[in-house]
Amino acid sequence: MTMPQIVTLTLNPAVDKISSVPQVVAERKLRCTTPRYDPGGGGLNVARAIQTLGGQATAYWTCGGPMGRLLAERLDADGVPHRPIPIEAMTRENLIVLEESTGRQYRFGMPGAMLTPDEVETCLRMLGELDPPPDFLVLSGRLPPGVPDDFYARAARQSPAHCRVILDTSGPPLREGIDGGVYLIKPNVHELSELAGSEILEDAEIRDLSRSLIARGNVQVVVTSLGSAGVVVVTEQHFENIRAPTVKVRSKVGAGDSSVAGIVLGLAQGTDILDAVRLGVAAGSAAVMTEGTELCRRNDAWRLYEVMRHRTEREP
């Protein structure tokens, strides 16, 4: 049996440069440890986490300059199947510094590489020419400068009828992306409140807004993240609060992308939507157990998933 094809797209990738210092002090020269360079960016992280969980996804991403070449080298070293899309501007580099004395993490995100109109069209054309066409298309992350807010909507509209589009972004790209017709969105409460135009405080409000989005016919599943409390899953037939397991939090970096990876992998393996989301919550919880920018670990994710499944079976 052929495994469904999973493709992720990252228009705003990054090289995450990670180091540490004993203490962050203003106006003083700080002696950092030898830096580590990790791939970063929504779709790249999703593809990496899917691989960690035992699946496979092909990551398409915009690649420019020396940082783009370094990012390609890091993906190759990790064995992640990927296809760089050449651009003129240089791929961005982010800086992440751990303050050893407090355990606090300082994250400095740089602006993304500016894409030209021709490069934007090249990305869309590339998606339309994928052979074989994907069964799952993950559109994840913020859009970089030069990319219009309706990019994700255009990408979703041109995807094949059988392809399930997963959209994980925020702001206008999320609002406009839904109009393109997607299978699943994964906002947090703040992002869902922005869609509603008012603050959402209760599960019932999440349910009602999600159902209203679904009723318009452009999205089938809304998975709203509640942070450490888990998620609320809403479909036309389902409304369920899936609680996250209690774990020791070391870093929240990559938790959302790991969660998306678990959901997509679960769906690709043929599980129902609620079980797929349980795997996503387990992968997200496993990610916060790791330090720095490390994503979920396979053993942690699958162990937590089994704990959640058994807990569900015991509940009336």
Per-residue pLDDT tens digits for 227-266: 888 999 999 999 999 999 888 888 777 889 999 999 999 9
Alpha carbon distance 226, 229 (integer Å): 5
- Specify if 27 maps to a domain: no
How open is the CA angle 205-308-222, to the nearest 5 degrees? 30
Candidates 16, 38, 168, 257; catalytic one = 257
Q: Could you tell me the strand order of the sheet in which 231-234 lies?
A: 82-86, 58-63, 6-10, 136-140, 164-168, 184-185, 221-225, 231-234, 239-242
- Specify if 33 maps to a domain: no
Query: Is-catalytic flag, 257?
Result: yes
The list of the chain residues with pLDDT below 70 reads 1, 312-316
| pLDDT, the chain, mean | 93
- Specify if 249 maps to a domain: yes
Alpha carbon distance 271, 218 (integer Å): 22
- Residues spanned by the domain of 250: 6-14+42-88+116-314
Residue 164: strand, helix, or coil = strand
- Specify if 22 maps to a domain: no
Alpha carbon distance 257, 280 (integer Å): 9
- Specify if 21 maps to a domain: no
Number of domains in the chain: 1
Tell the residue number behind the tokens 């992720």, with chain if given: 8
- Specify if 1 maps to a domain: no
- Specify if 219 maps to a domain: yes
pLDDT digits (tens, 9 = 90+) for 167-216: 999 999 999 999 999 999 999 999 999 998 888 878 899 999 999 999 99
- Specify if 99 maps to a domain: no
pTM: 0.93
Phi first, then psi: what are they for 154, rounded to 5°? -65, -40
Looking up residue 64, the CATH number of its domain turns out to be 3.40.1190.20
DSSP 144: P
- Amino acid in position 209: L
